[in-house]
Amino acid sequence: MKILVTGGAGFIGSALIRYIIGRTNVSVVNLDKLTYAGNLESLDDVCDNERYAFEHVDICDRAELDRVFLEHQPDAVMHLAAESHVDRSIDGPAAFIETNIIGTYTLLEAARLYWQEMNDSQKAAFRFHHISTDEVYGDLEGPEDLFTESTPYAPSSPYSASKASSDHLVRAWQRTYGLPVLITNCSNNYGPYHFPEKLIPLIILNALEGRPLPVYGKGDQIRDWLYVEDHARALYKVITEGQVGETYNIGGHNEKQNIEVVQILCSLLDELRPVAGNTYASHLTTYKDLITHVQDRPGHDLRYAIDASKIQRELGWTPEESFETGIRKTVEWYLANTGWIEHIKTGAYQGWLERNYSHRPANP
């Protein structure tokens, strides 16, 4: 089997590729535009594997997509390429419309043309798996409410609206053209190799540098946290065992207020990298002294929580990591991988293509 993974240099995409290459016999073609959040250094462990290939392609480039399908002949597509940061979508929504909506449309059309040219057995086996977010559902009202696969869409930000749009496109391409699709909607991911604009890596790195730890409003927003390697396992389950046309919600069963997450991170850092031994924080009593409440962002949803009983019942998937075990592994990884972090901070990771390929001769 060969899978075309779009956005494979991103946080979740790279975790998925590491899982597939490391734990299965499946081949992967990683197609990524390499925006600021695309980091091929996150795939250093697999980049030389004979079952891995990389294509530096924008999903909005139809001609290049057609070439990739023709050359690599994938048996399935796992579509993760997306702009994904809510704050960035508020400041500049255009990129989210372009990538998440136009890009998904362009990829669907390229996949449809490729699929239509297959023989009957190949067509029956082909899958288009669209990876989405729980943010398309908006926020929950009651403290016991959960998002299910049938929860109506009510997106609140340009980001979630663009992802909701892409979900609708994928379903329409199945209903209209018969393209065999699957959709998953996941809760907040965390773990190693996370670009430090998101809450958990931002807090870890700011704390280590003695910088303020910004918390929106009171920090009472509730999220369900999913360890990224658990998510990768779930995604592979869906692409290999899921039923065509179905949607599966993937959650971590770990609801936490944002302020609670920040406090847990501070406590772990107090244990693993005490302020007394940190030049940047030696004037502090605890990293919690750096917590700073800032003005909330517009349209901030209060609570997300996923009912993941369907994927457990039908595919046998449950998360292996609790928040306590996963967050400790995450903090320990950031403390142990200062080189990766330094490359992110300096932008050096963006020179990966030249470093990796400039010394390699072209194939004869």
Active centre residues (catalytic) = 134-135, 159
Rounded to the nearest 10 degrees, what angle do helices 199-208 and 323-336 cross at?
Answer: 50
Residue 111 CA to residue 228 CA, distance in Å, equals 27
Q: What burial class does residue 222 get, using C-beta atoms within 10 Å of its C-beta: 0-12 exposed, 13-18 middle, 19+ buried?
A: middle
Q: Which residues pair with 301 in a beta bridge?
A: none
Q: Are 108 and 128 in contact (CB under 8 A)?
A: yes
The pairing of strands 247-250 and 213-216 is: unpaired
The residue length of the chain stands at 364
Take residue 126 and report the two structure tokens written for it: 């082909």
Sign of the dihedral through C-alpha 96, 98, 102, 106: negative
Tell me the CA end-to-end span of the chain in Å, nearest whole number: 26
The pairing of strands 188-190 and 127-133 is: unpaired
Q: Are 175 and 338 in contact (CB under 8 A)?
A: no
C-alpha gyration radius of the chain: 20
Render 31-54 in DSSP notation, one character per residue. EE---TT--GGGGTTTTT-TTEEE
Render 123-154 in DSSP notation, one character per residue. HHH-EEEEEEEGGGG----STT--B-TTPPP-
Closest by CA position to 84, among listed 194, 221, 242: 194
Q: Are 292 and 214 in contact (CB under 8 A)?
A: yes
Take residue 294 and report the two structure tokens written for it: 């800032």
Take residue 362 and report the two structure tokens written for it: 């072209």
Instruction: Spell out the alpha helix ranges (H) of 77-119.
Output: 86-91, 94-96, 104-116
